[in-house]
């Protein structure tokens, strides 16, 4: 059986890994791309779209869950637009 984290723990662990280990280098080299992070193995996979990043992670590590985010942004996607 593949070791898995609960979804909230997955998000927390992946975000912490991004902030402490990846942010500086990825924002310089992969800004605006999507990254899927599997924090137990400390593996990460890129895509031009959210779907591409997730599919790259699934191909490399079938059965493992990854947490996806957009490099250099607070959220992976923006839904809607607020008018001021």
Does the pLDDT at position 84 exceed 60?
no
pLDDT digits (tens, 9 = 90+) for 8-60: 899 999 999 999 999 999 999 999 999 999 999 999 999 999 999 999 999 99
Q: Would you kindly state where each structural domain of the chain is located, as residue ranges?
A: 7-70
**d(Cα 76, Cα 63) in Å, to the nearest integer?**
22
Q: What does the CA dihedral 75, 47, 4, 60 come to, rounded to 10 degrees?
A: 180
pTM attached to this predicted model: 0.83
Tell me the residue length of the chain: 84
**d(Cα 47, Cα 34) in Å, to the nearest integer?**
5
Q: Where does the pLDDT of residue 7 fall: very low under 50, low under 70, confident under 90, or very high at 90 and above?
A: confident
**Starting at the edge strand that comes first in sequence, how are the strands of the sheet with 67-70 ordered?**
43-47, 34-38, 67-70
- The Cβ of residue 71 has, within 10 Å, a number of other Cβ atoms equal to 20
């Amino acid at each position: 059986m593949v070791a898995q984290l609960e979804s909230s723990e997955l998000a927390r662990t992946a975000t912490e890994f991004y902030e402490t280990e990846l942010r500086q280098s990825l924002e310089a080299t992969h800004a605006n791309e999507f990254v899927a992070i599997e924090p137990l193995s400390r593996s990460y996979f890129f895509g031009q779209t959210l779907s591409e990043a997730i599919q790259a992670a699934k191909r490399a590590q079938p059965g493992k869950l990854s947490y996806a985010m957009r490099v250099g942004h607070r959220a992976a996607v923006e839904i809607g637009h607020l008018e001021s």
